Chain A
Amino acid sequence: MSGINQSPSEDGPEVNFNKETLTFKISGNSYPENCEKIYEPIKKFIEHYSESGNKTLNLDFHFNLINSTSTVYVAQIIVRVAELAKKGLDVSVKWYYDQYDEELLDLGEKLSSISSLVFEYIPIVEED
């Protein structure tokens, strides 16, 4: 499962799974040329997550900028996680957003609504 980790780039997110805390985190910019390369492995990881015997999954989304295609992939991931939650996986979702980024907050709310997963919304407040 550690093979899922990816380093960030200017247009691609950092992807990290912490085996100790069972926290899966996607953070940074996500407007790459080829979203498939980044998100297909994540989808597979999520699909097979329960096979590892894990009963808990903590999802942390901490996007800076996200394009529409990445949004569709994130929605696919959320839909799959919601299916696992229905089968008994204990899921928590934290959705970080820049306090001024209403669009990103709105996206989190939409993803929560379509999946019926409860999101915790965490505004990032910039210090002067």
Chain B
Amino acid sequence: MKEEEYIICEDQVLSQYNTIKDSITEDSNILCQNIGSFNQDILISFVSLVEHALAQSGEVKSIQKRLIYLIIECIQNIIYHSDKLPNDAQLAYIIISKNDFGYTIHSSNVIESKNVPALIEKIDALLKVRKDVLSNLFSKKIQTPEINQEGHGGLGLLTMVSKSGKDFNYKVSELTNNYSLFHVEINLNFKQFS
């Protein structure tokens, strides 16, 4: 990525990050947020911070677990699937907030625009099917478990869609001719647990 293209991307990602933060109303709390590069150490810190915050607030254990699982998959998706910049950093952000209805995860990362159609096709296919079909799909995948060349199981998106109870929304915004921002919003509604 050329330096000027990176600057355009950075400006737009920062702008979208701030727009989302501003849209989070006053009756919501931001539990945790990060913008810039992500790595395993940041993931470990996130898990620890969120676990602590949820325990302190006396959150229902099943919700705590589900939220942490989703955070792990979102951040590892950023780490593994963001397109790397020349300095090996990612351009991404995550915001985790809570309101009266539940928790929301906003997770965004820059990807090469050429990869967008395949990604959209994959997600739309998952969103189309019923929850029980998703569950069967997961069972099928682990029946012939394969690790890809990058050392990953390839079940991240399926896990995210499935654990979100299908309250999974995504958006792809073009940043430049070559790069786009892949944004995911997952809502973990308290109603799912009642």
B10 within 8 A of A: no
Q: Which of B64, B69, B152, B163 contacts A69 (CB 8 A)?
A: B152
Could you tell me how many residues of chain B have their Cβ less than 8 Å away from some Cβ of chain A?
36
Q: Within the complex, what minimum Cβ distance (angstroms) separates A75 from chain B?
A: 4
B163 touches A103 (CB 8 A): yes
Interface size of A as a range: 20 to 34
Q: Which of A68, A110, A113 contacts B159 (CB 8 A)?
A: A68
Interface of A is mostly: helix
B184 within 8 A of A: no
Q: Across the two chains, which residue of chain B brings its CB closest to A97?
A: B65
Contact (A72, B69) CB under 8 Å given A10-B44, A100-B61: no
A39-72 vs B: 1/0 string, CB under 8 Å? 0000000000000000000000000010111111
Q: Across the two chains, which residue of chain B brings its CB closest to A31?
A: B72
Number of A-B contacts (CB under 8 A): 93
A11 to B46, CA, bound (A): 12
> Which chain B positions have C-beta within 8 A of A10?
44, 48
A84 within 8 A of B: no
A104 to B66, CA, bound (A): 10
A66-85 vs B: 1/0 string, CB under 8 Å? 01111111011001000000
> Which chain A positions have C-beta within 8 A of B60?
100
> Which chain B positions have C-beta within 8 A of A69?
76, 147, 151-153, 155-156
Q: Across the two chains, which residue of chain A brings its CB closest to B60?
A: A100
A65 touches B68 (CB 8 A): yes
B137-153 vs A: 1/0 string, CB under 8 Å? 01101110111000111
Q: Which of B62, B72, B143, B158 contacts A65 (CB 8 A)?
A: B72
A98 to B72, CA, bound (A): 18
**Residue from B40, B43, B142 whose CB has the most chain A CB atoms within 10 Å:** B142
In addition to A69-B156, A72-B155, A73-B147, 11 A-B residue pairs with Cβ atoms within 8 Å of each other are A31-B47, A65-B72, A67-B73, A69-B153, A69-B155, A73-B145, A101-B61, A101-B65, A104-B65, A110-B138, A126-B61
Q: Across the two chains, which residue of chain A brings its CB closest to B193?
A: A102
A127 within 8 A of B: no
